[in-house]
Amino acid sequence: MVPLRSLTNDYYLVNEDEFTIIGRRLGRRFRLGDRVRVRVVSVEIETMRIDFEVT
């Protein structure tokens, strides 16, 4: 999972109809299914959760 709060370079708006988030200032767009490069931020073995951030 990549939490939206980890995308700190812009304010992102969610477009649920198109499964997209769009940066308000820079216009960077992420769509469901896009390839992105990520880095592991945290792992919680008890809850089987892995958090990532976009690099």
What does the alpha-carbon distance between residue 26 and residue 17 come to, in Å, rounded to a whole number? 21
Residue 9 confidence (pLDDT) above 90: no
Residue 7 confidence (pLDDT) above 90: no
Residue that is written with structure tokens 């809850």 in the block: 47
pLDDT in tens, 10-39: 999 999 999 999 999 999 999 999 999 999
pLDDT for position 3? 83
Confidence band (pLDDT; 50, 70, 90) for 40?
very high
**pTM (2 decimals)?**
0.70
